[in-house]
């Protein structure tokens, strides 16, 4: 085994700046297929911006490069292809409120992949069962609890059979008693071999599920390592300070 497989996501010199304010100061990061990466760090450290660049919800400096499965992420025809391969789960769910839950999950496969309605619905109900809300399929998002809505959002992302799932603080908008049910679904997903990049404040989840933890601060990637390395033997003072603040409160 001398050849190493190319990373699924490759980020080189990622710079993101608003007029006078730089959010990301040149991030380099490779993520391998099947890897579960948790991104932690204080608010405003650029973690959400980082993962929103991966599917180009945020435009970034044209000198930076991001590739997903060999396709360069940039405005144009190829972007739709990247987005079809990269699922995303948002902090505020962003379900489509005028469609039933099952329609929410069916829409993208039908419109983007051209899947037939019958096949899309079969698949959607299967996915809703997998995230534990089969019986809510014909309700509207507004009738569901936050935890249930976020599980629908996960099913909606999975319906495209993405190679990568991005989670942008998926439990931050949830009532505390609903955090567990969403984390359970994510933990189960992590075991299926899908590549996951998770921005989270749930240190317990990161420690338990991540293959690699990345600590960001001030728009820079401060350190990366296994959960044990980051949580038990952090090498940077800023990492230590952050972990002290979030773990001892």
Partner 1 sequence: MNLLNTFFNGPVLLASLPQLLQGLLVTLQIGITSIICGLIGGLFLSVTRLYAPGFARGLIRVYIDIFRSIPLLVLLIVVYYALPFVGIRLSPFLSAVTALSLVSAAYTAEIFRAGIEAIPKGQFEASAALGLSNRHTMVDVVLPQAIRIVIPPLTNNCINVLKDTALASVVAMPDLLKQATQAQALSANPTPLIGAALIYVALLWPMVAIVGRLEKHFSRGRS
Residues that bind partner 1 (CB under 8 A): 55, 57, 80-81, 83-84, 86-88, 90, 92, 94-98, 107-108, 111-112, 156-157, 160, 166
Strand spans (E) along 32-133: 36-40, 65-68, 71-72, 86-89
Q: Identify which of residues 72 and 233 has a Cβ nearer to partner 1 in the complex.
A: 72
Q: How far is the CB of 109 from partner 1 (least distance, A)?
A: 9
Q: Identify which of residues 82 and 213 has a Cβ nearer to partner 1 in the complex.
A: 82
Q: How far is the CB of 245 from partner 1 (least distance, A)?
A: 29
Give me the residues paired with residue 86 across strands. 164
CA–CA distance, 137 with 135 (Å, rounded to integer): 6
Strand spans (E) along the chain: 9-17, 22-31, 36-40, 65-68, 71-72, 86-89, 164-168, 195-199, 212-217, 220-225
Q: How far is the CB of 52 from partner 1 (least distance, A)?
A: 8
CA–CA distance, 158 with 185 (Å, rounded to integer): 12
Q: How far is the CB of 98 from partner 1 (least distance, A)?
A: 5
- Measure the CA angle with vertex 224, ends 247 and 174; round to 5°: 45
Q: Identify which of residues 147 and 162 has a Cβ nearer to partner 1 in the complex.
A: 162
Q: Identify which of residues 148 and 239 has a Cβ nearer to partner 1 in the complex.
A: 148
């Amino acid at each position: 085994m001398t050849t190493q497989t190319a990373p699924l996501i490759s980020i080189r010199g990622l710079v993101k700046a608003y007029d006078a304010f730089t959010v990301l100061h040149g991030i380099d990061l490779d993520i391998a297929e099947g890897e579960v990466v948790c991104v932690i760090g204080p608010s405003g450290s650029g973690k959400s911006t980082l993962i929103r660049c991966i599917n180009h919800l945020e435009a970034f400096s044209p000198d930076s490069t991001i590739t997903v499965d060999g396709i360069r992420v940039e405005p144009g025809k190829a972007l739709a292809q990247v987005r079809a391969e990269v699922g995303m789960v948002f902090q505020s769910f962003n379900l489509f409120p005028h469609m039933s839950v099952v329609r929410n999950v069916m829409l993208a496969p039908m419109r983007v992949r051209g899947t037939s309605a019958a096949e899309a619905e079969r698949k959607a109900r299967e996915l809703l069962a997998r995230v534990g809300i089969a019986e809510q399929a014909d309700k509207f998002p507004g009738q569901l609890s936050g935890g249930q809505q976020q599980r629908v959002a996960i099913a909606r992302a999975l319906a495209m059979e993405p190679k990568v799932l991005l989670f942008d603080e998926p439990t931050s908008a949830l009532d505390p008693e609903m955090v567990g049910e969403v984390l359970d679904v994510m933990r189960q997903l992590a075991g299926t071999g899908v590549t996951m990049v998770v921005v989270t404040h749930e240190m317990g989840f990161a420690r338990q599920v991540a293959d690699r933890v990345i600590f960001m601060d001030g728009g820079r990637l401060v350190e990366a390592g296994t959960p044990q390395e980051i949580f038990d033997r952090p090498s940077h003072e800023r990492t230590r300070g952050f972990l002290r603040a979030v773990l001892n409160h």
